[in-house]
Chains A and B, each alone.
Chain A
C-alpha cells in the first residue's frame, strides 16, 4: 500500500527536487554575475527528469543521482571571461519559479485525490 503511494507521488517528487536544484544553480549564476572568469552552469531538466524517473537496476536510489552540469553558451562574450547573461538567467529563474509552483500544485492535487479516495 505504502509503496503504491510512493510510486504515485514519486514522479512529482523527483520533478520538485530537480526544480529546486535548478533554482539553486540559477541563483548561483545570478550571484556570480560580476565575478571574473565565472562560467554560468545549468542542466537539461527534461533529460535529468528522465534519468531520475527511469527504473534503475543498481542499488543507487533516485534521490542521490546528480544531473550532469553543462556550461551555458553566451550570446555575447564579455571581457572579464564571465559568461553570465543577466537577462537570460533572470528569465530562466522566473520560468523555473513558475514551474516549481506548478509541480507543487500537481503534487497537492494528487495528495487531495488520494485523501478523497481514502476518506470517501
Chain B
C-alpha cells in the first residue's frame, strides 16, 4: 500500500533535516572556537543530501545524508595582537563559519521538517479514514 511508504519517505526527510539542524547547531556553537583538538580553528561543516531512488529505479525517492563535508575556505583572520593565539604578525585565525548563512540554514531545515511532519499527519489521517471504509 503506497500510503505506508509515505511514512518512510517523510521519515527519511525528517531524519535528514534533523541531521542538518545538528550540523548547523555545531557550526553556530563553534563560530568562535579559535582552536580545536588539533590546535587549528574549527571549520564549518555541511551535510550533503542525496535522493535515494528505490530499488526498481524510477519512482518516489527517499532522502539520505551521504556525508558531512568541511568547508575548505580559508579561516577568517582578525588583527588582535593581545590575543594569546595571535601569530607573529598579530593575526588570530577564526573559524570560517558564517553565522548569517547558518541562521538561514537553520530556518530552512526547520521549515522543511515541519512540512514533513504535516505530510506524515495527512497520510495518517487518510489511512485512518480508509480503515473505516464500509462501516
Q: Within the complex, what minimum Cβ distance (angstroms) separates A102 from chain B? A: 11
Query: Chain A, interface size: which category?
Result: 20 to 34
Stretch from B3-11, B69-77, B85-93 at the A interface = B3-11
Could you tell me the distance in whole angstroms from the C-beta of B47 to the nearest C-beta in chain A?
10
Whether A35 contacts B133 in the complex (CB less than 8 A), given A27-B6, A27-B119, A100-B126, comes out as no
B1 touches A34 (CB 8 A): no
Residues in chain A near residue B10, CB distance under 8 A = 27, 30-31
Q: Which residue of B lies closest to A38 (CB)?
A: B51
- Complex partner residue of B112 from A17, A33, A36, CB under 8 angstroms: A33
CB <8 Å contact, A108 and B61: no
Q: What is the CB-to-nearest-CB distance from A11 to chain B, in angstroms, rounded to a whole number?
A: 15
On whether the beta carbons of B61 and A23 are closer than 8 Å, the reply is no
Interface residues of A (CB under 8 A from B): 16-17, 20-21, 23-25, 27-28, 30-38, 41, 69, 86, 90, 93, 97, 100-101, 104, 107-108, 111
Give 6 closest A-B pairs by Cβ, nearest first: A28-B60, A31-B13, A20-B2, A24-B2, A35-B49, A27-B6
